[in-house]
A and B are shown apart, each in its own frame.
Chain A
Amino acid sequence: MSQLAIFSGVMRYEYRMQIRRRSLWITYAVFMLLLGAILFGNDSSTIYKIIVHPGAVPLSEAVVYWATIINYHLPIVVGIMIADRLPRDRRTKVQELLTTTPATLSARVLGKYLGSMLGAISPLVLVYIGSIVYILYQTHNIMAIPLAIAAFATVALPGLLFICAFSLACTSVMWVPLYQFLFVGYWFWGNLFPPNRGIPTLSNTLLLPLGGNAAMGFFGVQSSNIDHATVMQGVASIVLLLGIATLVMVALLYLLKWQQARQ
């Protein structure tokens, strides 16, 4: 019996269940309307110029800007949508049945983590792909594709893995709507709040899940409150985000095992 096969199967089905949620698509639609209003509302802004005329700036700037744009507000949807995945097993009473199978807790939880995350970011990825197709169309530069993959993997993905780990773990000990409320607050405070307003924030630190350190460090593109970062700082930010995500998942597994043993 292969736990890897079980993990892969769980991941597939969690993806399927997440992608089918009507609320996922509706919430994304609302956020995209807001995003569209921000991006296209001011036709004299720098962002507008880069989006509409990507050929007017270096290719890396256009691609990395998009990787950051999709990471600005849309991850709020991701964090909210992942938050109920574990409590849902208790609510639907499937949890008991799952415990009687030979699938290990780690295979199930990791499968749930990755599967529901992939499902939750699918609309975001679709927007990103759409933007890259537009850049390709405008610039006729095939290098946009590998650049887009690299930008997504370094700028957007580590932050998404980071927030998904917390969203999955925190609701094992916290009421889901409370977590969702606090998460939205954290997102604005920890990512978008400017550091020079007298209130401490994470928005200019290595813990920024927006990907500003990677965008600046690897591609030289300022797309957040990070105005200066080296390659090492970009690497350090990614390692920190992924490392903390890993620790959170390990802690979650220990917590769930302890809860099970206490029954």
Chain B
Amino acid sequence: MHIYVHQLNKVYRGDVHALNNLELVIPSGMFGLLGPNGAGKTTFMRILAGIMQPTSGTLHVGDYEGNTEKGRIAIKRFLGYLPQDLGVYPDLSAREFLDYMGILKGLEDRTMRRRRVEHLLEVVALSNVANRKLKTFSGGMKRRVGIAQALLNDPQLLIVDEPTAGLDPEERIRFRNLLSELGGDRTVLLSTHIVEDIAQTCQNLAIMKSGCVIFQGTVAEMVHEARGKVWMVTTQGLKPEGNFTVVSTMNMGTTVQYRIVGDYPTRGEAVLIEPNLEDGYVWLMREQHLFQRMPVA
């Protein structure tokens, strides 16, 4: 299933332009959406999920128009959504909450629904706490309930908004592994400002800034953008000078190593190194290339 976004705009009250003529093509499989806070990622996700309507523009999800009421209802039938700020009913147990969500997603057959709930509780490793009330769950456990409810109706389109925000490293790895298994024929849209989440799970991605796409392509293409622009600078302690962004600083005892993205520094000796995805992101955010390539199917 492909998603086509054409000239999508969203203007909030107070003339706040959250989306600015957004153009995007999302293929099936895992697709990453990167961008800083306030880039418009969550707004776009919420429009895609049918929570809000765009101010203008068109949105096609498979064969359905996301701008119309009829289209939105149709999309919701095969949609799974994990919001950034997941809400649950605290007095329900995990099992009850999933059963309730299953009912809302149209899983009418009680036996089939309960079987599906049990299966997903096993997938997210919550079977042994399924009867505990959700108010006793940690943040990571609630996130797992969140992904379970998103998968109840075996969705063709899965939207996951900042899924690892606030999770500890172990939970974050568990989540990434779970997400990696979900691609395939499904379209999984993963929105995050954590580059590592994308690097570990997605082949295609887009970067958003100020409501529009500044890059769309593969992970390899994004890394390539920063080739020739990433340097390792070693100094005695003084910060290097020049037109660049410092990505990391490592104190080696007598020297300090700086990883920089940008032009060769005017102070300090620099060695050109291979870029990674984060470097590509930093470079693009610096340069704000309005560059778009067709994604690899």
Task: Give the interface of A toward B (CB within 8 A).
Answer: 1-2, 5-6, 9-10, 13, 16-17, 20-21, 89, 92-103, 108, 261, 263
Inter-chain contact A99/B83, CB cutoff 8 Å? no
Contacting residues, chain A, for B51 (C-beta < 8 A): 96, 99-100, 263
* Contact across chains for B91 and A6 when beta carbons are under 8 A apart: no
B104, A94: Cβ atoms closer than 8 Å: no
Interface residue from B49, B73, B100 paired with A13 (Cβ < 8 Å): B100
Rounded to whole angstroms, the CA-CA distance of A95 and B89 in the bound complex is 10
Say whether B87 contacts A97, CB under 8 Å.
yes
Q: Is the CB of A9 within 8 A of B103?
A: yes
Sample of 19 further A-B pairs with CB below 8 A, known A13-B92, A93-B83, A263-B53: A1-B108, A5-B108, A9-B104, A16-B92, A17-B92, A92-B89, A93-B85, A96-B46, A96-B83, A97-B149, A98-B104, A99-B50, A100-B49, A100-B51, A101-B104, A102-B73, A102-B106, A103-B103, A108-B104
User: Which of B79, B88, B90, B91 is in CB contact (< 8 Å) with A100?
Assistant: B79
Q: Verify A97–B83 contact, CB threshold 8 A.
A: yes
Instruction: State whether the Cβ of B81 lies closer than 8 Å to any Cβ in chain A.
Output: yes
From residue A132, how far is it (CB to closest CB) to chain B in Å? 31
Interface residues on B, range: 20 to 34
Nearest Cβ distance between residue B190 and chain A, in whole angstroms? Answer: 16
Given contacts A92-B90, A97-B149, contact A10 B103 (CB under 8 A): yes
Q: How far is the CA of A194 from the CA of B5 in the complex (A)?
A: 65
Highest count of chain A CB atoms <10 Å: which of B53, B87, B101: B87
| Of A93, A97, A103, most B-chain CB atoms within 10 Å | A97
B2 at the interface (CB under 8 A from A): no
Q: Is the CB of B108 within 8 A of A96?
A: no
On chain A, the residues within 8 Å of B106 by CB distance are 1-2, 5-6, 101-103
Whole-angstrom distance from the CB of A181 to the nearest CB of chain B?
Answer: 25
Residues of A within 8 A of B79 (CB): 100
Contacts of B100 in A (CB 8 A): 9-10, 13
Contact among A6, A96, A261 for B103, CB-based, below 8 A: A6
Query: Which residues of chain B are within 8 angstroms of A95 by Cβ–Cβ distance?
Result: 87
Nearest-CB distance from B154 to chain A (Å)? 14
Cross-chain pair count, CB within 8 angstroms: 82
Chain A residue contacts of B49, Cβ below 8 A: 99-100
B89 touches A17 (CB 8 A): yes
| B1 touches A (CB below 8 Å) | no
In the complex, B52 has a CB within 8 A of chain A: yes
Q: How far is the CA of A93 from the CA of B90 in the complex (A)?
A: 11
Answer whether A102 and B76 are a contact pair too, CB < 8 Å, given A17-B89, A20-B91, A94-B88: yes
Write out the residue numbers on chain A whose beta carbons fall within 8 Å of the beta carbon of B76: 100-102
Q: Please indicate the chain B residues that have their CB under 8 angstroms from the CB of A100 in the complex.
A: 49-51, 76, 79, 81
Q: Using CB atoms, name the residue of chain B closest to A1.
A: B106
In the complex, what residue of chain B is closest to A17 when comparing beta carbons? B91
CB of B86 closer than 8 Å to a CB of A: yes
Minimal Cβ-Cβ distance residue in A for B78? A102
B48 nearest CB neighbor, chain A only: A100
CB of B77 closer than 8 Å to a CB of A: yes
**B104 and A5 within 8 A (CB):** no
Provide a sorted-by-A list of 10 A–B residue pairs whose CB atoms are within 8 angstroms: A1-B77, A92-B87, A96-B83, A96-B87, A97-B101, A99-B51, A100-B79, A101-B101, A102-B106, A103-B105
Chain B residues with CB under 8 Å of A99's CB are 49-51
Residue of B nearest to A98 (CB): B104
Give the chain B neighbours of A17 by CB distance below 8 A.
89, 91-92
Chain B residues within an 8 Å CB radius of A21? 91
Q: How far is the CA of A243 from the CA of B105 in the complex (A)?
A: 31
CA distance A108 to B89 in the complex (A): 15
Contact in complex: A103, B104 (CB < 8 Å): yes
A141 CA to B65 CA, complexed, in Å: 65
Instruction: Give B179 Cβ to nearest chain A Cβ, in Å.
Output: 18
Kindly state whether residue B96 has any CB partner on chain A within 8 Å: yes
- For the complex, give the distance between the alpha carbons of A133 and B88 in Å: 40
CA distance A224 to B223 in the complex (A): 80
A5-B103 in contact given A93-B85, A102-B73 (Cβ < 8 Å): yes
Q: Mark B40-66 against chain A: 1 for CB-CB distance below 8 A, else 0.
A: 000000100111110000000000000
| Alpha-carbon distance A10/B76, docked complex (angstroms) | 18
Residue of A nearest to B81 (CB): A100
Please, which residues of chain B bring their CB within 8 A of the CB of A102?
73, 76-77, 104-106
Closest to B90 in A: A92
Residues of B close to A5: CB separation below 8 A: 103, 106, 108
Minimal Cβ-Cβ distance residue in B for A93: B87
Contacts of B52 in A (CB 8 A): 263
CB neighbours (8 Å) of A93 from chain B are 83, 85-87
A108 to B100, CA, bound (A): 11
Report whether B104 and A6 are in contact in the complex, using a CB–CB cutoff of 8 Å: yes
- Residues in A neighbouring B81, C-beta threshold 8 A: 97, 100
Interface residues of B in 104-122 (CB under 8 A from A): 104-106, 108
Q: Which residues of B contact A103 (CB under 8 A)?
A: 103-106
Residues of A close to B101: CB separation below 8 A:
97, 101
Assembled-state Cα–Cα distance A93/B85 (Å) = 7
Q: In the bound complex, how far is the Cα of B106 from the Cα of A223, in angstroms?
A: 47
